[in-house]
Each structure stands twice: as structure tokens, then as C-alpha cells.
């Protein structure tokens, strides 16, 4: 939707014309009104052309009239300046680094934190190797996910990997291989003699792009030394999937993986339906994220005034809707801020706020509120335009009439002046 700029007044440089400085008068005086990207000129006055036809006194009066009209239009523009519908606050900064934890679960990587309730410990055996192949380690498995969009990784990479060894593996640890779209990165954990559960850590950096539609895999390789100086290396057990042994990889993304905004506010029964669109580039299932809406404005909106979200996945993103019982909130007309919060289940969350002007008729029984979002804002905007145009026309008429009367008096006075000849 567009918006009104109250007025633009444009003219050439110069002073108020008098008989002595006629040449310095502005060439053209304009009053322009903008709507969106469109411009309408409601007043245009060619000073020099009128100077040649009417003389400097008439031009001086008309410029004064122009100043009165311009000031009037400016004041009207400020009075009737409407709040833009669905006016958005800045979304998360595209260049802001964001750390995302990916937890090992079953055969994949997920943003769902085991502490969120999905906590079932899983294990993978880590066999040792014969002395001839132990320097290469043992591949124990791959866990992955498929991004929905390209994901740029730039910054620190951290990992926490839990393991134990009943055989007391010596100098044990992991090599973590990240593979995506033909690109590979290798990272090494600390090494230690292992018996009881131990959390191995990796602290490194990673830079690159995780390709959209291509599986990003985290391959784990078990490394250990022989227990008795020679012979096979010691084995162990990789542990993951529980809140006590939460093995995970943390990537640093160069931009937010989630974008969201309110798209419309519609009347539905005795409620207002708030619709939002969410796009998530990591390709996580819609049920692995949480969606929350908060509302701030002239009314106090409690959490229980907003129903649970209705979530629907689609080709162009995820549609999320909430029903707001605005009558329970005793909502009044005014500007409301709708904040959508998307969280990766007890981990990182993202939010974006959208401002919407809501008009609620509290006088009429069964009347519907009007949300200035989408197409609903257009009728009110047209009404404002018409009102401004009518008032400007009326004011302009009276200014024009006054100028005409002054012009007539000047012309009459000029005809009565005696003609002096040398």
C-alpha cells in the first residue's frame, strides 16, 4: 500500500519579486502531492509568464497566495497523514551472525533440543581397528539434514560429542567430517583415555555454503590407540539423543535462517484472525519449531486471548494463523504491534514485528473491526484522499477569489492614474 507525503513545494531560487528585482523571481512555483511512487501536481504557476502579462504587483500578490495555499495543503497533509497499513519494523539483519545448534537424533540432525521432552538416549558402537588401519580410524555413522534454501556458514564451529569405553580406549577421540554439495570440512576433537562417559569438544571455524536440496552430513570417525602398545586400537560407544548426553554440532550462520511477517488481519466470527508467513532455510519439519504471537497496542492483550496457532506447510513457506479474541481484550481502535516469534524448540528464537492500524466500531451492535492490512486499507485511503482534495479545492477557491478581487482593484486603480507625458 502507498502513503501520502503531505506536500512538496518546489521553486527556483530567488526573492519575492518587486519592481526592482523582477528578474530574480522564481521561474515556476509547484505544489506536488505524492501517493506511493506516483506524483500529482495540484498547483503550477509560471512567474515570468505572468510577469510579462500582468506586471510585478499582480505577481507579488499571487506568490503570497501561493504561500498561503502551500501552507494550507501542508497542514492538511499533516492532519490527514494516515499510518501505513502493515508497516513493518526491520526484520533480522541479513548480515547478523547466528549460532544454530544441530542435535544428533536417530539418523539425522535436528534443531529440537532433547531438553524439550524428546529425550531418548541412543548409542552407536565405535569399533577399534587393526594396527595397520587404525591411523584412519573407524567410520561409525553419518547424521544429516537437507536445507530448504542455501545456507551460508561463516564463523566458529563447535561440537560436543559424548562417548564411553568399557575397554578403556587410550588416546581416544573423534574426527568430524562435514559434507555438503561436494565440499568437505574436517575437524578434530580433544583426545583422552576413556572409560566413563566423557564429553569431547571441538572448537574451530568453518566457512562455506550448504547447498539447498543437498544433504548436509556429519560423519563421525572414531580414533584411538592400541591398549597394549601394539595390536588393535581400543573401541568405545558413541552416546547421543538425551539431555544428559546431548551430542550436537553448532554452526555459525552469516544470516538468520528464518524470516516471518504478518500478512493480513481478517475478521472471522467474533475474532480477528492474524495470518503470518514463515520461511525457514534449514529445512526443519514445521512441528520441530514453535510459533508464538504477541500483541501490543491500545488494549492489554493477555496470552490466553490468543488461541493456539494453526500451522500449514506449503511450497512458498509455512502459513501460521492465530485467532485473537479482541472483545476479551476490550480492544480499541489504534495502532497495534503484532510480533511473531519462531523458536527452534528451546534453542535459538527469532522474531519480527508488524504494525497494523485497527479500527473497531464499538457503537454498532455486531459491527466488524477493520484491519488496515492487505486490501482493507484501500477504502480508507481513498476517503482520506477525497477529503484532502475537497478541502484543498475549497481553500484554493477562496484564495483564488481573493486574488481576483485584488487584481480587479489594482487594474481599476491603474486606469484612474493620470498619464504624464514629457
Domain for residue 188, yes or no? Answer: yes
Take residue 112 and report the three cell numbers written for it.
529440537
- Statement to judge: residues 388 and 353 lie in one domain: no
Give the per-residue SS3 of the chain.
CCCEEEEEEEECCCCCCCCCCHHHCCCEEEEEEEECCEEEEEEEEEHHHHHHHHCHHHHHHHHHHHHHHHHHHHHHHHHCCCCCCCEECCCCCCCCCEEEEEEEECCEEECCCHHHCCCCCEEEEECCCCCCCCCCCEEEEEEEECCCCCEEEEEEEEEEEEEECCCCCEEEEEEEEEEECCEEEEEECCCECCCCCEEEEEEEEEEEEECCCCCEEEEEEEEEEECCCCCCECCEEEEECCCCCCCEEEEEECCCCEEEEEEEEEEECCEEEEEEEEEECCCCCHHHCEEEEEEECCCCCCHHHECCCEEEEECCEEEEEEEECCCCCCCCCEEEEEEEEEECCCCCEEEEEEEEEEECCCCCCCCCCEECCHHHHHHHHHHHHHHHHHHHHHHHHHHHHHHHHHHHHHHHHHHHCCCCCC
Model confidence pTM above 0.75? no
Average pLDDT on 260-266 reads: 92
In a domain, 89, yes or no: no
CATH number at residue 243: 2.60.120.260
Q: Is residue 90 part of a domain?
A: no
Structural domain of residue 320, as residue ranges?
Answer: 257-371
Torsion angle, alpha carbons of 294, 297, 300, 301, to 10: -30
Residues 109 and 237 in one domain: yes
Q: Domain total for the chain?
A: 3
Q: Is residue 333 part of a domain?
A: yes
Alpha-carbon distance of 108 to 254, in angstroms, equals 23
Residue 247 is predicted with a pLDDT of 97
Q: What order do you get walking across the sheet with 310-314 strand by strand? A: 258-268, 271-280, 317-324, 310-314
Asked if residue 91 belongs to a domain, the reply is no
Q: Of the residues 253, 287, 303, which one is the last residue of a structural domain? A: 253
Residue where the block lists cell 555459525: 252
Domain containing residue 317: CATH number: 2.60.40.10
Q: Is residue 376 part of a domain?
A: no
334 shares its domain with 212: no
Which is more confident, 155 or 53?
155
Residues 149, 228 within the same domain: yes
121 and 231 housed in the same domain: yes
pLDDT of residue 135: 72
Whether residue 172 is found in the same domain as residue 283: no
- Note whether 229 and 333 are same-domain residues: no
- Asked if residues 99 and 255 have their Cβ atoms less than 8 Å apart, the reply is no
Task: Give the Cα separation of 225 and 235 in Å (integer).
Answer: 9
Place of cell 544428559: 244
Write out pLDDT tens, residues 130-147: 765 667 889 999 999 999
pLDDT of 102 strictly over 70:
yes
Q: Are residues 310 and 388 in the same domain?
A: no
The per-residue pLDDT for 160 is 98
Task: Write down the pLDDT at residue 86.
Answer: 41
Per the domain annotation, does 422 fall within a domain? no
What pLDDT score does 63 carry? Answer: 62
Report the C-alpha gap between 305 and 171 in whole angstroms: 58
Dist. CA 247–CA 200, nearest whole Å = 9
pLDDT at residue 340, rounded to an integer: 95
| pLDDT for the residue numbered 5 | 40
Q: 399: pLDDT confidence band, cut at 50, 70 and 90?
A: low
pLDDT band at 394 (very low <50, low <70, confident <90, very high): low
Mean pLDDT lowest for which of 86-100, 167-181, 367-381?
367-381
In a domain, 50, yes or no: yes
Same domain, 148 and 242: yes
194 and 236 in contact (C-beta within 8 Å)? yes
389 and 352 housed in the same domain: no
Are 264 and 247 members of one domain?
no
Three cell numbers written together for 351: 522474531
d(CA 223, CA 59): 93
**C-alpha–C-alpha distance, residues 347 and 103, integer Å:** 11
- Burial letters for 35-61: b for 16+ Cβ neighbours within 10 Å, e otherwise? eeeeeeebbebebbebbeeeebbbbbb
Q: Are residues 27 and 119 located together in one domain of the fold?
A: no
Residue among 397, 393, 398, 387 at smallest CA distance from 77: 387
Amino acid at each position: 500500500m502507498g502513503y501520502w507525503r503531505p506536500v512538496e513545494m518546489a521553486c527556483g531560487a530567488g526573492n519575492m519579486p518587486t519592481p526592482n528585482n523582477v528578474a530574480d523571481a522564481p521561474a515556476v512555483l509547484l505544489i506536488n502531492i505524492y501517493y506511493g511512487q506516483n506524483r500529482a501536481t495540484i498547483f503550477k504557476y509560471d512567474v515570468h509568464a505572468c510577469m510579462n502579462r500582468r506586471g510585478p504587483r499582480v505577481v507579488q500578490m499571487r506568490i503570497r497566495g501561493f504561500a498561503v495555499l502551500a501552507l494550507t495543503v501542508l497542514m492538511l497533509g499533516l492532519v490527514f497523514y494516515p499510518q501505513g497499513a502493515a508497516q513493518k519494523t526491520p526484520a533480522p539483519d541479513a548480515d547478523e551472525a547466528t549460532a544454530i545448534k544441530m542435535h544428533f537424533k536417530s539418523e539425522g540432525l535436528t534443531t529440537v533440543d532433547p531438553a524439550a521432552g524428546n529425550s531418548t538416549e541412543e548409542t552407536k558402537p565405535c569399533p577399534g581397528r587393526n594396527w595397520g588401519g587404525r591411523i584412519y580410524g573407524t567410520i561409525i555413522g553419518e547424521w544429516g539434514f537437507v536445507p530448504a534454501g542455501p545456507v551460508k556458514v561463516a564463523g566458529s564451529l563447535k561440537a560436543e560429542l559424548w562417548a564411553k569405553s568399557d575397554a578403556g580406549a587410550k588416546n581416544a577421540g573423534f574426527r568430524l567430517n562435514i559434507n555438503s554439495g561436494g565440499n568437505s570440512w574436517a575437524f578434530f576433537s580433544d583426545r583422552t583415555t576413556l572409560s566413563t562417559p566423557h564429553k569431547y569438544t571441538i572448537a574451530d571455524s568453518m566457512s562455506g555454503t550448504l547447498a539447498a536440496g543437498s544433504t548436509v552430513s556429519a560423519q563421525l570417525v572414531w580414533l584411538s590407540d592400541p591398549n597394549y602398545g601394539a595390536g588393535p586400537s581400543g573401541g568405545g560407544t558413541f552416546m547421543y539423543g538425551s539431555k544428559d548426553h546431548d551430542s550436537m554440532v553448532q554452526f555459525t550462520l552469516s544470516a538468520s535462517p528464518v524470516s516471518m511477517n504478518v500478512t493480513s488481519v481478517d475478521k472471522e466470527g467474533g475474532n480477528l484472525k492474524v495470518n503470518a508467513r514463515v520461511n525457514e532455510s534449514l529445512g526443519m519439519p514445521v512441528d520441530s519449531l514453535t510459533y508464538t504471537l504477541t500483541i501490543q497496542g491500545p488494549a492489554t492483550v493477555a496470552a490466553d486471548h490468543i488461541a493456539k496457532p494453526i500451522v500449514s506447510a506449503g511450497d512458498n513457506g509455512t502459513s501460521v494463523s492465530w485467532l485473537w479474541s479482541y472483545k476479551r481484550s476490550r480492544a480499541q481502535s489504534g495502532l497495534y504491534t503484532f510480533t511473531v516469534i519462531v523458536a527452534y524448540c528451546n534453542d535459538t528464537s527469532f522474531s519480527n514485528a508488524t504494525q497494523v492500524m485497527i479500527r473497531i466500531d464499538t457503537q454498532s451492535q455486531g459491527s466488524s473491526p477493520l484491519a488496515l492490512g492487505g486490501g482493507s486499507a484501500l477504502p480508507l485511503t481513498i476517503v482520506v484522499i477525497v477529503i484532502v482534495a475537497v478541502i484543498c479545492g475549497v481553500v484554493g477557491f477562496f484564495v483564488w477569489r481573493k486574488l481576483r478581487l485584488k487584481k480587479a482593484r489594482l487594474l481599476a486603480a491603474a486606469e484612474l492614474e493620470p498619464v504624464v507625458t514629457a
